[in-house]
Amino acid sequence: MNFRLLRYGLWAVIAVLSLFLVFTYANTRFGTKAEGAQLGAPFNLTDQNGAPITEAAFSGHPSVLFFGFTHCPEVCPTTLFEMAGWLKTLGDDGKDLRVFFISVDPERDTPEVMKGYTAAFTDRITGITGNPDEVEKLLKSWKIYAKKVATENGDYTMDHTASVMLLDRDGRLKSTIDYKESPDVALKKLRLLIAG
């Protein structure tokens, strides 16, 4: 009789544990997914022409976001040259697409600097910069890593996330293009974005 009670007791413990595991799994699995949809937040910044720009710029059309800085020696120019190439290849198919280059170094990247820089690649890229605190808010809301790394003579460079983010017409993240992703894959992702 006592053994039977013990057996029922143990089964009850196992049942509770299993439920707990299922719940935790579901929570981590689907919880992060829900969080992923919440990327982005309202912001008040300045575009390369000195005009105010807000999160409204990312909706009503598919958008491409790339975060970088003009003192960036390698990954930013490479990516922006590739971006100019993608836009050229897409031609009319990509006319809805809006491309934004968002500075992770707003102290040095004034709107004028951004304007001269983006124009070297294509006239299709809009530079975004502005108040450093407001820029940081924007970076955080998109989970973009950016960190100043001191070099000599008070100079610095930036470590930063180098992925290109593709947003749908509602400004929600649809996919990303990684640094050095093949042109074919990049174009496929962009075509999917435009179609979606």
Residue 155 binds another protein, judged by CB under 8 A: yes
Distance CA 50, CA 130 (A): 9
In the bound state with another protein, the residue whose beta carbon lies nearer, of 95 and 143, is: 143
The interface with another protein within residues 34-53 (CB under 8 A) comprises: none
- CB of 160 or CB of 189, closer to another protein: 160
Q: Is 145 in the site for another protein (CB under 8 A)?
A: yes
Write out the E strands in 39-78: 44-47, 52-54, 63-68
Q: Can residue 161 be called a binding residue for another protein (CB under 8 A)?
A: yes
- For residue 187, state whether it binds another protein (rule: CB under 8 A): no
Q: How far apart are CA 109 and CA 11, in angstroms?
A: 64
Least distance between another protein and beta carbon 186 (Å) = 15
Work out whether 70 is an interface residue with another protein (CB under 8 A).
yes
Token digits for 15? Answer: 């049942």
Distance from C-alpha of 45 to C-alpha of 56, rounded to nearest angstrom: 11
Q: Residue 100 CB, nearest distance to another protein (Å)?
A: 18
Phi, psi of 121, rounded to the nearest 5 degrees: -100, -55
Count of other CB atoms within 10 angstroms of residue 156: 15
66 binds another protein (CB under 8 A): no
Q: In Å, what is the CA distance from 7 to each residue of 1, 17, 165?
A: 10, 15, 55
Binding another protein (rule: CB under 8 A), the pick from 153, 154, 184, 195 is 153
**Region near another protein per CB under 8 A, out of 5-13, 39-47, 117-125, 131-139:** 117-125
* Size of residue set near another protein by CB under 8 A: 30
**43, 55 contact by CB (below 8 A):** yes
Please compute, for residue 133, the number of CA atoms within 13 A of its CA located in the half-sphere on the CB side: 0
Cβ proximity to another protein, 59 vs 163, nearer residue: 163
Question: Is residue 185 at the binding interface for another protein, with CB under 8 A as the rule?
Answer: no
How far is Cα 134 from Cα 131, in angstroms, rounded to an integer?
5
Give me the residues that bind another protein (CB under 8 A), please. Answer: 70-71, 73-75, 77-78, 81, 85, 113, 116-117, 119-120, 145, 149, 151-153, 155, 157, 159-163, 176, 178-180
